[in-house]
Amino acid sequence: MKEASGVAMDQDPKNLNLVRCVQHGLYYDKTKASGCRKCLSAAREFATKMQAKPERFRVGDLRDKPAKRAFLGLAFALVIGFLPAAYYCFGPGAATARNLRFEQELLSRKPGTEEILHRFDELDAQVSQSHNRATRNSAIVWLAVSSLAMLGWYRIT
């Protein structure tokens, strides 16, 4: 019966490093381990947890936390929406006002006749309207892109 297991402790010189665990009665190689497999199971589980990737922010976890999901989605959408709105505000939206101010500058170099003063005042009103239009359009762009980003956020998460 003892020979059927394949472990012959006293006769085989290869097995000099095999030791029997006092607590569990299992054999282990003392050159490779400090205890039997049952003694080391807790350490093995701990090592497995350490080797696993550390817990990071995962999108899948947000479904369990709706408030966090909504807040992060809102922040994400507002930032994404701000980028094209800022581009529009400082690019195409401001171009009209810059052109009108340039025309005003040219008029200011001319002598101040009644016609030039009237045109200067018209341009001043147009600049104000241009700023209002650019602000309105920037808000519309921000709202539209943020809405689409929020919709995408809820589709993804």
Return mean pLDDT, the chain: 83
SS3 readout for the chain: CCHHHCCCCCCCHHHHHEEECCCCCCEEECCCCCCCCCCCHHHHHHHHHHHCCCCCCCHHHHHHCHHHHHHHHHHHHHHHHHHHHHHHHHCHHHHHHHHHHHHHHHHHCCCCCHHHHHHHHHHHHHHHHHHHHHHHHHHHHHHHHHHHHHHHHHHHC
Check pLDDT > 90 for residue 80: yes
pTM of the model as a whole: 0.54
What percent of the chain has a predicted confidence (pLDDT) above 90? 36
pLDDT in tens, 31-47: 888 788 888 888 888 88
Buried b (16+ CB within 10 A) or exposed e, 12-28: eeeeeeebebeeeeebb
Distances (CA, A) of 149 to 64, 124, 134: 21, 37, 22
- Residue of 49 and 81 predicted with greater confidence: 81
CA dihedral of residues 65, 67, 70, 75 (deg, nearest 10): -110
Query: What's residue 17's pLDDT?
Result: 79
- Residue of 112 and 75 predicted with greater confidence: 75
Query: What's residue 140's pLDDT?
Result: 94
* Chain centroid, CA 24 distance in Å: 49
